[in-house]
Amino acid sequence: MSIPERAAVFVLAQNRLLREALAHILDKKSDLTVVGASALSPLSLEQIMEASPDVLVIDHFTVAEANREFVHEAQRCVPELKLVMIGMDSDEQTFMYLVREGALGYVLKDASAIEVVNTVRSVASGEAVCPPQLNKALFRYVARQLNQIPSFGVKASLGLTNREQQLVELIGRGLTNKEIASRLNLADQTVRNHVHRMLRKVGATDRLAVVEICRIEGLPV
């Protein structure tokens, strides 16, 4: 397995003892170097950008505190950033949610220090790692996706334009109409008009229902 020389790691953990222990364990390895360690704060994104790590290690308390936009923004600012979630539950729903959010490493709360190190190493080298007991969830998800790959028929049945499908994805990320307008360089009223048409086309009562209907239909959200 090809491991980058001294892969840079940033540890984002709410508990100071855990954060310092992880940083110490990882930094002792000859192929890893810790370039930053902190609790989640308004400065976290700036710290991650400045450190420009290969791998971001996040503990389960921080996962609960951080919103989707924070993770997406970190990945946007550091395009090659790889995510490792540690101290997690074996809950399939949580696992699959974090996989969709970009996690490549998933370590359970009863994992050993060696398992954490090996996961960080594997993810740094471009591999994905998950606990054996959650492998079935991945297989089921892939099988379900293959049966739900959006066909022209599905898109046609919903009747959404490419722009409207783009809006669905942004709404799914939690962005407001104003934030979407700013990101796409559109007028607020234009976005509101798009959303109104989407509600009518898919038979939804609100913008979040549009996202859920599209997800059920197999469109990427």
In one-letter notation, the amino acid at residue 179 is: E
State whether residue 58 is helix, strand or coil: strand
pLDDT tens digit string along 98-124?
Answer: 888 889 999 999 999 999 999 999 999
pLDDT tens digit string along 43-64?
Answer: 999 999 999 999 999 999 988 8
Predicted local distance difference test score (pLDDT) of residue 202: 81
The CA distance from 159 to 202, in Å, is: 8
pLDDT tens digit string along 139-149?
Answer: 887 776 655 54
Predicted local distance difference test score (pLDDT) of residue 210: 83
Predicted local distance difference test score (pLDDT) of residue 165: 84
Chain-centre distance for alpha carbon 106: 12
Predicted local distance difference test score (pLDDT) of residue 21: 96
The CA distance from 63 to 36, in Å, is: 18
Q: Which residues of 72-98 are buried (b: 16+ CB within 10 A; e: fewer)?
A: eebbeebeebbbbbbbbeeeeebbbeb
The CA distance from 84 to 207, in Å, is: 31
Domain ranges of the chain: 7-134, 152-217
Report residue 37's pLDDT band, with 50, 70 and 90 as the boundaries. Answer: very high
Q: Are 56 and 12 in contact (CB under 8 A)?
A: yes
Which two tokens mark 54?
A: 């290969």
The CA distance from 53 to 47, in Å, is: 10
Choices 3.50.50.60, 3.30.70.3340, 3.20.20.190, 3.40.50.2300: CATH for 7-134? 3.40.50.2300
Percent of the chain with pLDDT over 90: 47
Report residue 159's pLDDT band, with 50, 70 and 90 as the boundaries. Answer: confident
152-217 — its CATH code? 1.10.10.10
The three-point CA angle 207-153-193 to 5° equals: 30
Mean pLDDT confidence for 157-163: 76
Strands (E), the chain: 7-12, 32-38, 55-59, 82-88, 103-108
Predicted local distance difference test score (pLDDT) of residue 127: 94
